[in-house]
Structure 1
Amino acid sequence: MSEPRKRPSPVRFSAVLAAIVAVVLTGCTAAPPAPVQVTRATVTYRTILAEFSKRMLDLGATAVLIEARIDGETFSSAGGVRSLETSAPAEVTDPVHVASVTKSMVAVSVLKLVEEGIIRLQDPVGRHLPEFDSLMKPPGPVTVEHLLRHTSGMPNYHDPQLTSRTLQQALTQPITAEEILALTASVPWVLTPGGGMQYANANYIALGLMVQRLRGQPIAEVLRSDTIEPLKLTGTHLTGPGPAPATMVHGYITIDGVRVDTTYLAGLIGDTAAGLVSTVGDLNTFYAALMDGRLLKPATVKEMLLAPEGYGLGLERWGDACEGGFYYGHPGDTAGYGTMALTTPDARRQLTINLAYPPGPLNLTPYAPSNELAWEVLRIARKALDSTC
């Protein structure tokens, strides 16, 4: 039987809701300040996000953290608690596991190697990771670009991982990149390289191992020097052996009816497909910097955005109803947590949502999110941004 769940505190939207009606600047000057205009679009997107937060908390979500940056103005909210054990209120600056958003940051480090002339996108992976071909036995040449775009045809490794150990062991036991690739190699290839898009974490596990070898330092250090430190992303790092940051929001699942804390799981240590820890503000800053050329050259970013099958070089894309173009970013979904980070190409409209799911059993269906609420996070993020025009 699961432990009785402590009720998350209600989302703290009093100031936000007041701002939706009228935002007033206060100060100590003699003359009263002029009111700030609140547009219908502002009211709409903030209401969408407020209602979503309340609904998730009513379902039992541990925390809902949101930051939107719209035309130079920032809106943020935090609801729920950091931990069901302590009930300390969650803050918008609290970090969470952001899962596959990791891929965008790893892609930046790969593309920096391309810009420096150390590798090329069309290079065979085996040229830089010699054991790749002998271990994986691909049905055709696999290039760096294939890995970045998920067009290598590699399968997912989750089925052999879960048949070789219990779910509890898979979550709590460390696993190396080499071990993950070995598990992947035990499953038949899904497609021939270049034969189509098939999303698989193993692509980015191989990329992370390749970057680490070429840079000669741990991948966590590479991400720090390439992106985290230059952008001053103080709430962001790759999961390590612990302990978790004191302000981290805890995630939970249930296994056989027993609640399990999924914060800082050993299975995510150094994971270059899903191991990143970050905040809503840091993710918005990261994607804005990526789009405006602070991390990579404009020509490189342009190539990242090319996504004929919906996935570019470490970025996904979705239709933008406001401008007829696309939103770019990445979803994240792992045990206990869901994330959605979206930006327009000019970073004029951005939104990141971090959710600590209501505790429940993992969905272990292949190629499906661990929690069906992941689809709802994406739907609401797009709906909110679509309402800002």
Structure 2
Amino acid sequence: MAAAAAGLLVTPGVAGPAYGAPTPGPSVSAAPSPDSDAYFPELTPAVAAKLDAAVQRVLREAQVPGVIVGLWAPGKGSYVRTFGVADKATGSPMETGFNIRIGSETKTFTVTALLELVDQGKLGLDDTIGKYISGVPNGDRITLRELAGMRSGLFNYSLDEDFNKALAAGPTRPFTPQQLLDYSFKHPVQFEPDADWQYSNTNLILLGLVVEKVGGKPIQEFIRQEVLEPAGLRQTVFPTDAHFPDPHPQGYTNDTTGKVVIATDWNPSWAWAAGAMISDLMDLRSWARTVATGTLLTPKTQAERLKTTSIDGIRGAGYGLGIFNVQGWIGHNGSLPGYETLTVYLPEAQATMVVLLNTDILHEGQEPSTLFGEAITRIVTPDHVYPGHKPTAPKPTTPKPTASPTG
């Protein structure tokens, strides 16, 4: 089931017809950047043609209904395209202005909120979670830093069998943060605090509760006021229910039988501070640079955020505090039933890549967003290829729900 979708899934354009020729989006104004193409090539028509072919190949081979791709680098131009369809029943094309469920990219917002509270002197990264939330296994020893860096050892609730059964039985039902923690805390800890690295959505549920308690307001309000508004993000929201702002594409996932079903309106409350948010191409373009360069944080706190722990099985990949660095690309990916996203920034070239698609169905065991990222970076940044293989990511123990409508 896509319950792990809020988990790490990395190795961790304007409308075009399905599998057909894309239509280019508008160019962006260029600003000064490195003179050489060593970091990033000029996005000429010839380069764009190579990108078109590479994206179309992944779209076709991975059977992705539709994808939106954006690439930008100062002085090099832009590449904005859509491919495929937003709705397989009507054949309506993908559009660059669509809203998309961003899954685990939510973690970058939740952790930014937490780090803002650090900068305000209201909490410390080395505070224990037990200082704020009671009943957490090893809560007197697990720090906020270890939660944000996936080094707590707490069991990932997304892998709990009862949770997956409940989600499969009712993908439109709401879950509370405490319910999610209860699924986790009935399991023994996986390792001692800071002894290992393991992706767990449980960590972000706890950090969301800390943001609420210390910030003094619901997390959706804190993030809106303290993160989204200062960052100038007007299309990004933290939903409190299954509402999905228009316009958006239909999202396609698998049910328990392997049948493709529509998951557009499934309730994302099960992912909450780990993966419930919604955004769009241009907001994510802006956010990529903001989160990677730390413009909302002090330099000291941003430096702490970017200290990474190696991710097993991925060369040149590490995970910091709610953010990863994969071959120099800094950011996060995300997945919820029906949708996947990838938003990353390459500081050497001041380059941004955003990939948004309307399925989370794996292709030969690979996340399609990762396959797109790999295909694109092999062309534009061959020295910084976003890998097409992934680490052992948390996957649910039971299949997806057979229910048709919402998730």
Aligned to 1:306: 307
CA contact (8 A) 2:106 2:276 kept: yes
Residue aligned with 1:171, SS: coil
Give the Cα–Cα distance (whole angstroms) in 2 for the partners of residues 294 and 221 of structure 1.
20
Aligned to 1:348: 350
Counterpart of 2:221, as a letter, is E
Residue aligned with 1:238, SS: coil
CA contact (8 A) 2:20 2:84 kept: yes
Aligned to 1:182: 182
Change (3 A) 1:215 1:55: same
Query: Structure 2 unaligned runs (5+)?
Result: 1-15, 30-36, 311-317, 385-407
Give the Cα–Cα distance (whole angstroms) in 1 for the partners of residues 270 and 240 of structure 2.
5
Change (3 A) 1:269 1:201: closer
368, 375, 378: which is aligned to 1:373?
368
Counterpart of 2:335, as a letter, is D
Q: Cα distance, 1:227 vs. partner?
A: 1.9
CA contact (8 A) 2:252 2:262 kept: yes
After superposition, where does 1:39-54 map in structure 2 within 5 Å?
42=44, 46-54=48-56
Aligned to 1:336: 338
Give the Cα–Cα distance (whole angstroms) in 1 for the partners of residues 264 and 349 of structure 2.
31
Residue aligned with 2:230, SS: coil
Q: Cα distance, 1:230 vs. partner?
A: 2.2
Q: Cα distance, 1:78 vs. partner?
A: 1.1
| Farther-moved stretch of structure 1 (224-233 vs 144-153) | 224-233
Counterpart of 1:110, as a letter, is L
Give the Cα–Cα distance (whole angstroms) in 1 for the partners of residues 271 and 165 of structure 2.
20
CA contact (8 A) 2:154 2:202 kept: yes
Aligned to 1:32: none
Change (3 A) 1:353 1:104: same
CA contact (8 A) 1:140 1:193 kept: no
Query: Which one scores higher on RCO, CA 8 angstroms, separation ≥ 6?
Result: 2
Give the Cα–Cα distance (whole angstroms) in 1 for the partners of residues 303 and 245 of structure 2.
35
Q: TM-score, normalised by structure 2?
A: 0.76
Q: Cα distance, 1:201 vs. partner?
A: 0.8
Change (3 A) 1:355 1:92: same
Give the Cα–Cα distance (whole angstroms) in 2 for the partners of residues 347 and 213 of structure 1.
39
| Farther-moved stretch of structure 1 (307-316 vs 55-64) | 55-64
Give the Cα–Cα distance (whole angstroms) in 1 for the partners of residues 325 and 46 of structure 2.
23
Aligned to 1:13: 22
Give the Cα–Cα distance (whole angstroms) in 2 for the partners of residues 379 and 110 of structure 1.
31
Aligned to 1:277: 278
Give the Cα–Cα distance (whole angstroms) in 1 for the partners of residues 332 and 258 of structure 2.
31
Matched, 1:201 2:210: no
Give the Cα–Cα distance (whole angstroms) in 2 for the partners of residues 111 and 347 of structure 1.
26
CA contact (8 A) 2:96 2:281 kept: yes
Matched, 1:114 2:115: no
Matched, 1:253 2:253: yes
Aligned to 2:7: none
Aligned to 2:329: 327
Q: Cα distance, 1:380 vs. partner?
A: 2.7
| Farther-moved stretch of structure 1 (278-287 vs 80-89) | 80-89
CA contact (8 A) 1:292 1:346 kept: no
Aligned to 1:236: 236
| Farther-moved stretch of structure 1 (139-148 vs 166-175) | 166-175
Give me the CA root mean square deviation: 3.2
Q: Cα distance, 1:315 vs. partner?
A: 1.0
Q: Cα distance, 1:270 vs. partner?
A: 6.8
Q: Cα distance, 1:333 vs. partner?
A: 2.2
Q: Deviations over 1:68-117 (max 9, x none)?
A: 11124332111223223443321112121111111111111000000000
Aligned to 1:295: 296
Aligned to 1:192: 192
Residue aligned with 1:174, SS: coil
Q: Cα distance, 1:139 vs. partner?
A: 8.0
Aligned to 2:83: 79
CA contact (8 A) 1:139 1:193 kept: no
Counterpart of 1:353, as a letter, is V
Aligned to 1:4: none
Counterpart of 1:208, as a letter, is G
Change (3 A) 1:235 1:56: farther
Change (3 A) 1:268 1:210: same
Q: TM-score, normalised by structure 1?
A: 0.80
Matched, 1:91 2:95: yes
CA contact (8 A) 2:84 2:94 kept: yes
Give the Cα–Cα distance (whole angstroms) in 2 for the partners of residues 195 and 388 of structure 1.
32
Q: Cα distance, 1:297 vs. partner?
A: 1.6
Q: Cα distance, 1:47 vs. partner?
A: 4.0
Change (3 A) 1:229 1:8: same
CA contact (8 A) 2:268 2:275 kept: no
Larger Rg over CA atoms: 1
Change (3 A) 1:191 1:170: farther
Aligned to 2:395: none
Give the Cα–Cα distance (whole angstroms) in 2 for the partners of residues 388 and 63 of structure 1.
28
CA contact (8 A) 1:238 1:270 kept: no
Give the Cα–Cα distance (whole angstroms) in 2 for the partners of residues 192 and 286 of structure 1.
34
Q: Cα distance, 1:387 vs. partner?
A: 4.2
